Homo-oligomer: A and B are copies of this chain.
């Protein structure tokens, strides 16, 4: 099928130009007569891929020199364990801000390693889901760090501000990294599973301030140890080379688009267009307060949920795919990461108008 717009929450669509390049060179990369995934991670050709990807990511996010960029195996769930096991040291507590499903999953895992001081930041304004202002969050004075998830993919909730604390701030940016400008220097650790805004599943980027490399738990598996990964340039183990390569292509594509600032403008426009369509109609419903609406994941319901299946079927027939809501929530969800172009959202909005006209 041609002309598909893919709204998958993850593993998500990658930029079309990136996938076409990957396809072209899949069996003969760099004139080697083999795929990039069929060569040693220690070959000079792959080392260049690895170094370029890191440098491009550093450029895109203005990552300061005192931060290590680690290309880790696994995804965010691996980091849910890696974070406490790497950062607690002799501390016994960490503060976790709870604003949704993924924060809660991180809390559940962290509870194996420490006493989790959970701050419930969930709130309501005018009957809509919201998040308490970060200036109101309470951080335990004995916490080794403060963890939060700035974008909740399932809840469709976003937190734009940062904890007010002198503790290291740890952020699960799986679904928001590279979608907007951030000041890396304000964080202790940023991590992100690749399969939303970076590349294919199986890779996780961790950006770690270098004074935080010294606190590993004795039982931390070595391949998850930030210090070892930093010392070995993420090649202590054989890294997921194809995912690393493809992520590198995405980084280069982002630079060609004008970088993160340019993406942020487009992402604002995409989100605005879609929320406007929802708000302009009684046929579509989004239950998140505008203060905290996610720019990346837009869950919405039909006022007539009996039409859900028909909506999905007709959308798919128009090439608007992977719009089914998360099983925990139901309804629809349009994930509009960097790789979804403005035209994709325009096509979705046009379809929503048409579907409403036919079924209201």
The answer to whether A201 touches B238 (Cβ under 8 A) is yes
**Which residue of chain B has its CB nearest to the CB of A81?**
B221
- Distance (whole angstroms) from the CB of A309 to the closest CB of chain B: 14
Asked if A291 is at the interface (CB within 8 A of a chain B CB), the reply is: no
The answer to whether B33 touches A22 (Cβ under 8 A) is no
The answer to whether B34 touches A6 (Cβ under 8 A) is yes
Asked if A314 is at the interface (CB within 8 A of a chain B CB), the reply is: no
B residues within 8 A CB of A13? 34, 38
Q: Which residues of A194-234 have CB atoms within 8 Å of chain B's CB atoms? A: 195, 200-203, 217-219, 221-224
Question: Could you tell me the distance between the alpha carbons of A201 and B6 in the complex, rounded to whole angstroms?
Answer: 26
Question: Could you tell me the distance between the alpha carbons of A75 and B41 in the complex, rounded to whole angstroms?
Answer: 13
With known contacts A1-B32, A219-B112, A224-B221, A38–B8 Cβ distance under 8 A? yes
B residues within 8 A CB of A35? 14, 19
Question: Could you tell me the distance between the alpha carbons of A13 and B223 in the complex, rounded to whole angstroms?
Answer: 24
The answer to whether A38 touches B12 (Cβ under 8 A) is yes
With known contacts A112-B219, A321-B34, A10–B238 Cβ distance under 8 A? yes
- Distance (whole angstroms) from the CB of A297 to the closest CB of chain B: 13
Copy tally for this chain in the complex stands at 2
Interface centre among A10, A80, A202, A243 (most CB of B within 10 A): A202
Question: Could you tell me the distance between the alpha carbons of A13 and B28 in the complex, rounded to whole angstroms?
Answer: 12
Interface residues of A (CB under 8 A from B): 1-4, 6, 8-14, 16, 19-20, 22-23, 26-28, 31-35, 37-43, 73-75, 77-78, 80-82, 85, 109, 112-113, 193, 195, 200-203, 217-219, 221-224, 236-243, 319, 321-322, 327
Interface centre among A2, A77, A193 (most CB of B within 10 A): A77
Pick the residue among B40, B113, B222 that contacts A322 (CB under 8 A).
B40
Question: Could you tell me the distance between the alpha carbons of A158 and B240 in the complex, rounded to whole angstroms?
Answer: 26
The answer to whether A40 touches B27 (Cβ under 8 A) is no
The answer to whether A201 touches B81 (Cβ under 8 A) is no
**Which residue of chain B has its CB nearest to the CB of A73?**
B74
**Which residue of chain B has its CB nearest to the CB of A42?**
B327
The answer to whether B4 touches A237 (Cβ under 8 A) is no
B residues within 8 A CB of A221? 78, 80-82, 85, 109, 221, 224
With known contacts A38-B14, A236-B77, A33–B321 Cβ distance under 8 A? yes
B residues within 8 A CB of A19? 26-27, 35, 38
Question: Could you tell me the distance between the alpha carbons of A3 and B37 in the complex, rounded to whole angstroms?
Answer: 17
B residues within 8 A CB of A9? 40
Interface centre among A38, A113, A321 (most CB of B within 10 A): A38
Question: Could you tell me the distance between the alpha carbons of A78 and B82 in the complex, rounded to whole angstroms?
Answer: 13
**Which residue of chain B has its CB nearest to the CB of A34?**
B6
The answer to whether A26 touches B26 (Cβ under 8 A) is yes
Pick the residue among B8, B31, B237 that contacts A74 (CB under 8 A).
B237
The answer to whether B37 touches A113 (Cβ under 8 A) is no
Question: Could you tell me the distance between the alpha carbons of A336 and B310 in the complex, rounded to whole angstroms?
Answer: 53
B residues within 8 A CB of A200? 37, 240-242
The answer to whether B240 touches A202 (Cβ under 8 A) is yes
Pick the residue among B42, B78, B202 that contacts A243 (CB under 8 A).
B202
B residues within 8 A CB of A31? 1
